[in-house]
Structure 1
């Protein structure tokens, strides 16, 4: 009797089709992330700092909470709002300006409305292209995995405000 049950388990396993890359759905998203640290209504707020942050050339230990707009194009006020980037970034490099990014892209319009993707990783700010991991998602992005490439579009060194182009490649 046990051998018959084992036979059926092995038969079921042998006939299962493994999921291949060709059967997965791939999605490419391009959004612009607007980090506003200046002015009366910032979207990024510094909430903590280490004892050595003020004397560090890289702001090592600075923790910032964000609720940044995500737009279809590079103009904050002239492009369609797609959603918000909500999370934190932490100055984690002692010798290089590098952030640990931990954020959700929460979509509020269009076909992805109500869905989100989780992005986490190393962001060496002055590197031309930075790559971070897509580690999950919700809604239509449930089970998401992939990567995001960030390219600085504009950076105002006086105010600290930045616009970054994110190209996100997702597999489901």
Structure 2
């Protein structure tokens, strides 16, 4: 599994604890992805895209099904978006079960690749700024995920770094939950 050099130690260690060989390459996710593809070509290893893959999207969509199992009445779902797999999967599941449910994606304004793709009506590469929401810091949303987001997601919202940070602090102080920036984006919105 290829991760950026700046990946949080907790993510690296957790991945290694599952038995994975973690290779640190690149300064951002997109550089790691490019290197992973190069390694796949050189070694013949199986390549699994982290978000732009039908099986990955379907797997992440099971979260939407779990929401239906746990809640009787859902008006809206707010989900962080980076590469788009999680949002696409959840949106497909929600809209298939109940098309009236509103589905919103949230991304950091510092790395708003989905917003840029919507503005250009296709995925484009953006120049991101540093963000505390490193788990969703992707310079280009996936082609497949973007097509699903266009079809099933009602809107994309951007949140500022200060709002993400304040939400992380709020969750820690009020709920005793320590969450990463990517997870805090939805509540920040």
When normalised by structure 1's length, the TM-score is 0.27
**Structure with the larger helix share:** 2
Structure with the greater alpha carbon radius of gyration: 1
**Structure with the larger strand share:** 1
When normalised by structure 2's length, the TM-score is 0.26
